[in-house]
Amino acid sequence: MEGVKEVVIVGGGICGMATAVALKRYGIEAVVLERAESLRATGAALTLASNAWLALDALGVSHKLHPLYSPLTKYVITNVSNGAVQQISLPQNERGPVGPKTVHWDQDITAETPPELMQKYVIEHYSKDFPPVYLGIVNHSDVSTLTWAPLKLRLPWNVILGKLSKGTITVAGDAMHPMTPDLGQGGCCALEDAVVLGRCIGNTYRLTRVRYNSISSFDEYHFC
């Protein structure tokens, strides 16, 4: 690593990479530290809501994604207890892309819990009101691809009242506000964090014309 970098970003996930892009647009050099040997795709898919598209616009990359995906114009909600189906059309400003597949398999880490036990636990504890067509996905899963991970959620008031920075260090993305997958906002909010953090640091840097005051930048960032 050559030269002196103004910002060090720990973690090359969605938020880390997007923050580096945001800072670069302000002329601030950043180095991203990532322990993985290469970038990789994990998880099922990301739904980009309107707030995510606004963030991608601010980062100057949304035009590269629009041609790749079809907009999500409606979705179906099913009540698993009685089979009732509700179809909802989305407002124009809430439409986002959806990938070519709805279910696919991936392997990210090796879990300590034996995969056979994880499969058995899911079937025994969560299959009571599950439609057979979906339960079959679990029954026929390749156990070598199963992983077990905790779901975390930090409530908004804990984010507002919590201590989010120390000196020249702050957090963003999942490190600041972990979310459960059902919200569909983890990646979206990570992109928003990147834009806001980059803007706060960049504006302070421009105003002073010297090395920015990270403390005042972070104060502004936390109240956005």
Helices (H), 147-210: 156-161, 186-208
163-172, 181-190, 208-217, range with the lowest pLDDT: 208-217
Q: Confidence class of residue 117 from pLDDT cuts 50, 70 and 90?
A: confident
Mean pLDDT of 54-65: 93
> In terms of pLDDT, which residue wins out, 103 or 16?
16
Judged against a pLDDT cut of 70, whether residue 61 lies above it is answered with: yes
> In terms of pLDDT, which residue wins out, 64 or 167?
64
Assigned CATH topology for domain 7-109+149-222? FAD/NAD(P)-binding domain (3.50.50)
pLDDT at 18: 96
* Distance from C-alpha of 162 to C-alpha of 215, rounded to nearest angstrom: 16
Q: Confidence class of residue 102 from pLDDT cuts 50, 70 and 90?
A: very low
Amino acid (1-letter code) at residue 14: I
Judged against a pLDDT cut of 70, whether residue 165 lies above it is answered with: yes
CB of 58 closer than 8 Å to CB of 195: yes
- Report domain extents, the chain: 7-109+149-222
* Distance from C-alpha of 186 to C-alpha of 24, rounded to nearest angstrom: 23
pTM, two decimal places = 0.64
Mean pLDDT over each residue of the chain, to the nearest integer: 76
Judged against a pLDDT cut of 70, whether residue 185 lies above it is answered with: yes
pLDDT at 89: 63
Beta bridge partners of 102: none
Q: Determine the number of helices (DSSP H) and then strands (DSSP E) in the chain.
A: 8, 8
Written in H, E and C, the secondary structure of 94-127 is HCCEECCCCCCCCCCCCCCCCHHHHHHHHHHHHC
pLDDT at 19: 96
* Distance from C-alpha of 113 to C-alpha of 115, rounded to nearest angstrom: 6
| Nearest C-alpha neighbor of 224 from the set 212, 201, 209, 213 | 201
Judged against a pLDDT cut of 50, whether residue 103 lies above it is answered with: no
- CA separation, residue 128 to residues 135, 140, 148 (Å): 10, 17, 20
Q: Which pair of tokens denotes residue 89? A: 């059309």
